Amino acid sequence: MLELNRYFLELESETVRLANLAHEADGQLPIPTCPDWTLEQMVEHVGRGHRWAAEIIRRRLPEPIAMQEVVVPADPDERSEWLTAGARMLADAVRVVGAQQPVWTWQRDRSAGFWLRRLLHDEVVHRFDAELALGATGDLAADLAADGVSDVLDTAAALSRPDIGVPSPFAGLVGAGESLQFIATDTDLGSSGEWSIIRSPAGVTWRHGHETAHVTVRGPALQLLLLLNRRLPVETADVEISGDRKIFAHWWSNSRF
């Protein structure tokens, strides 16, 4: 994980970037990587998530609450401000109660800080959704991209367990000991850019480090992030896959989120 202040700074920066895209583009622009959404609907998803998590944190809730219906302003100026206002609500809520304050989450990390990190990475991916829809090529710091890969794997670990009691898009990742290794080729990431994963009958487990695996995927952290979030197909991602490609293909086809 990164230092706490980095998450505050990156949430603000990513929200500004997405708000600028939402301001300049047509709100009815289709988002090919989220085929059921327009740009306006994606902005609604992001902004509503900010407000929902902020309410859980402000009230220090131990249980989830219903997500409120919201109306995204049609005016581009108001739409951008609405989005940035939601991010401020989330950041302010975490600052007031403290990142370690226990609150409800859907992972084992039951802290207010979980929501800051999780929704930052959700927004990073959706910023790339908007850029890809506009034919643009975005960038991202390698260490933030690597932290995003860890966040994706945290999600897979939490939602692949057979005992969670609800239907999950990651349920197909249970296995019989199949192993995967992801390696970021960026410099200076060290072990934070290496992920060793096991698929077992109890679900996915992972840890940082380099292990012999059935399949290994190497590439820049950003490419791994977009690939694991299904924003790039294997055929166009700048990655190298060695070993049993069928094991990675199975992972990719059973990790829609």
Instruction: Look up the CATH number of the domain holding residue 41.
Output: 1.20.120
Q: What angle do CA 141, 13, 121 make, to 5 degrees?
A: 60
Q: Do 118 and 177 fall into the same domain?
A: no
Tell me which of 99, 133, 167 is where a domain ends: 133
Q: What angle do CA 19, 20, 21 make, to 5 degrees?
A: 90
Q: Do 22 and 105 fall into the same domain?
A: yes
Q: Do 206 and 91 fall into the same domain?
A: no
**What does the pLDDT read at residue 69?**
82
Among 219, 171, 178, 211, smallest CA distance to 195 is for: 211
**What does the pLDDT read at residue 157?**
96
Q: Which residues of 24-54 are buried (b: 16+ CB within 10 A; e: fewer)?
A: ebebebebebbeebbbbebbbbbbbbbbbbb
Q: Do 107 and 169 fall into the same domain?
A: no
Q: Do 126 and 158 fall into the same domain?
A: no
Q: How far apart are CA 80 and CA 101, in angstroms?
A: 30
Q: For residue 199, how many C-alpha atoms fall within 13 Å in the half-sphere facing its CB?
A: 22
Q: What angle do CA 171, 154, 102 make, to 5 degrees?
A: 115
141 within a domain of the structure (yes/no): no
235 within a domain of the structure (yes/no): yes
165 within a domain of the structure (yes/no): yes
Q: Do 110 and 158 fall into the same domain?
A: no
> Which tokens hold the place of 10?
């990156």
The β-bridge partners of 200 are: 203
142 within a domain of the structure (yes/no): no
**What does the pLDDT read at residue 36?**
87
User: What is the pTM (predicted TM-score) of this model?
Assistant: 0.96
Q: How many CB atoms lie within 10 A of CB 173?
A: 22
52 within a domain of the structure (yes/no): yes
57 within a domain of the structure (yes/no): yes
Tell me: the pLDDT tens digits for 68-104?
888 888 888 899 999 999 999 999 999 999 999 999 9
Q: Do 124 and 203 fall into the same domain?
A: no
Residues in CB range of 204: below 8 A, 6 or more apart: 153, 156, 157, 160, 170, 173, 174, 197, 198
Q: Do 155 and 128 fall into the same domain?
A: no
User: What's the CATH code of the domain at 161?
Assistant: 3.30.1050.10
Q: Do 47 and 128 fall into the same domain?
A: yes
**What does the pLDDT read at residue 191?**
93
> Domain range spanning residue 185?
151-253
**What does the pLDDT read at residue 49?**
96
Q: For residue 194, how many C-alpha atoms fall within 13 Å in the half-sphere facing its CB?
A: 10
Q: Do 121 and 10 fall into the same domain?
A: yes
| Residue 47 contacts residue 115 (beta carbons within 8 Å) | no
**What does the pLDDT read at residue 164?**
83
73 within a domain of the structure (yes/no): yes
Low-confidence ranges of the chain (pLDDT < 50): none
Domain total of the chain: 2
Tell me which of 102, 133, 164 is where a domain ends: 133
Q: Do 14 and 74 fall into the same domain?
A: yes
Q: Do 124 and 172 fall into the same domain?
A: no
Tell me: the pLDDT tens digits for 26-48?
989 999 999 889 999 999 999 99
Question: CB under 8 Å, gap of 24 or more: what pairs does 7-13 form?
Answer: 7/113, 7/116, 7/117, 7/120, 8/91, 8/94, 8/95, 8/116, 10/120, 10/124, 10/144, 11/87, 11/90, 11/91, 11/116, 11/119, 11/120, 11/123, 12/87, 12/91
Tell me which of 85, 107, 133 is where a domain ends: 133
- Burial class, 254, CB count within 10 angstroms (exposed 0-12 / middle 13-18 / buried 19+): middle
